[in-house]
Amino acid sequence: MILATICCRGGSKGVPSKNIRLLQGIPLIGHTILQAQKSEKIDDLIISTDSLEIAETAKKFGAKVPFLRPDDLATDTASKWPVFIHALEFYEKEFGQEVEYLVDLDVTVPLKESFDIDAAIDLALSRKDVDVVITGYEPERNPYFNMMEISEEGNAEIVKKSPKPIVRRQDAPVVYSLSPAAYVVKKSALYNFEHWSKAKCLISPMPRDRAIDIDTEIDFSLVEFILSRKKNG
């Protein structure tokens, strides 16, 4: 049984009321709900939020909101891992179904498509030895080539050093920037690991233009521009 969750709090500092702000006439959360509903792999979808306003908005798109998230799981510092566990355990108790995989879909990646979600799920199902599958894209920067960090001595050094300096980006190992478009987590991993980074993971690649993560007003404007161009052909 594959349960999808959309976990979003009421507070947003970078973009006020981000999760229900209109994007091309649709609340931001609505874009992700619609893509989840198009998925061929998801069995059910629930919303985890502490906000009545977000809850009511989600219900208008046909999403289930079986609870309001407890305050201790809705702070700025709360990790999503216990939020996942809370949602999963509530769902199993409330609906009497045992979940095998939880698929978290972040509302801040509204350009994802249902097939991006399904590709990540398919990868997880094809590799039973893997605990977590995360969507990701090839970034413009590579830690082996053009990313630097500051050492304890205050010097700037390449992040990932190789025995022989890499002089062409094409020669650098392939790296991925994570996108919260979809996190596919095996139920057992939620209890066996304190965080997804401790588990055995795979990347489900997706195009960079569909993986834009809205965190600032500039990001929001960029996504609006891309959607308007698609709409106008």
pTM score, whole prediction = 0.92
Instruction: Give per-residue pLDDT as tens, 23-74.
Output: 999 999 999 999 999 999 999 999 999 999 999 999 999 999 999 999 999 8
Instruction: Give per-residue pLDDT as tens, 105-117.
Output: 999 999 999 999 9
Number of H helices and E strands in the chain, helices first, is 6, 10
Class of CATH domain 2-136+176-231: alpha beta
Amino acid at 39: S
Spell out the domain ranges in the chain.
2-136+176-231, 140-173
- In 3D space, the residue among 117, 126, 136 whose CA is nearest the CA of residue 196 turns out to be 136
Mean pLDDT to the nearest integer, 120-128:
97
pLDDT given at position 14: 61
pLDDT given at position 55: 97
- Bridge-based pairing state of the strands 22-23 and 26-27: antiparallel
CA dist., res. 173 & res. 166, Å (int): 10
Supply the mean pLDDT for the chain.
94
Mean pLDDT to the nearest integer, 122-149:
96
pLDDT given at position 12: 66
Instruction: Give per-residue pLDDT as tens, 158-168.
Output: 999 988 889 98
